[in-house]
Amino acid sequence: MLTLGVFIMSRKSWIFTLGTEVVCGRVVNTNAAYLGRRLTLLGFEVLGVVSLIDDVELISAALSLVLRTGPDLIVTTGGLGPTYDDVTLEAVARAVGRRLAVNELALEMIKKKYEELKLPLTPERVKMAYLPEGGVVIPNDVGTAPGCLIKSGETLIASLPGVPRELERMWESFVEPRLRELSARRVVVERSFTVTNVPESSAAAIVKEVLRRYGNVYVKTHPKGHEIRAPVLEVYVQVFGDELGECERVADEVLKILKDGLESVGGVIT
């Protein structure tokens, strides 16, 4: 058995990974996996990941729809650059009902970067300094396009570049420290183990019974082998509640039930 961690969970979040190149499969969407895990370990419940082409109307409409549900956080990636199809912040501005305008701090950051390269401040480069009014600049130490933090009602929207190394640096140095300041309300314990010699279809009935008995437990079986010839399952368990000790007790109880049930149908636990 591997204990993956103990953390706090309560707040609702969405991830928007934007870019035609992502949707059409030309670029692998590693940003969604990175952000999903970071948010989960921060205590956010990730309700969904939305991938859309670079279409300002479509992105704005999708953001508006999600905003109406009142999540605590929306993170967008991609579409902050100097080209015609970088329209994310225009879409964010429309969704929150703000004007898109030059942010002087963002402009100064961009100007400084291009001065170091002895390149002029063209309209395409100035474009990256346009943020929704009221937005806070997220510095980009790796690339050129700054990100943006803006509040709409009770929802915080963090817009970051799509280049993974830029996104990760900006997330870890600027966004995540601010999110850690948010209060939390729910404790979550997650654990996992591996079982061989049990097809997922056989494990399904055992998992179903656990979920029937416990309203605060989530179980996921991940097939790693062949369902018939060489079944291998990674079993992931998540228990949430108000008290750490109670969550750990339930987690131990659930793991025993799962292991006993899987062993009874020929499973080997590792």
- pLDDT, tens digit, 9 for 90 and up, residues 91-132: 999 999 999 999 999 999 999 999 999 999 999 999 999 999
Produce one character per residue of 148-164: b if its CB has 16 or more CB atoms within 10 Å, e if not. Answer: bbbebeebbbbbbbbbe
Please say which residue of 155, 179, 203 terminates a domain: 179
Q: Is pLDDT of 7 > 70? A: no
pLDDT in tens, 122-133: 999 999 999 999
What is the pTM assigned to this prediction? 0.84
Structural domain range at position 117: 10-179
Please say which residue of 179, 214, 237 terminates a domain: 179
Q: Is residue 66 part of a domain?
A: yes
**Nearest residue to 90 via CA among 18, 15, 13:** 18
Integer Cα distance of 194 and 22 in angstroms: 32
**Phi, psi (5° rounding) for residue 125?**
-75, -35
Q: Is residue 226 part of a domain?
A: yes
Six-digit token string for 207: 């998992």
Q: What angle do CA 38, 151, 29 make, to 5 degrees?
A: 35
173 and 200 part of one domain: no
Q: Is residue 208 part of a domain?
A: yes
Q: Is pLDDT of 6 > 50? A: no
Integer Cα distance of 52 and 18 in angstroms: 5
pLDDT in tens, 29-64: 999 999 999 998 787 889 999 999 999 999 999 999
106 and 204 part of one domain: no
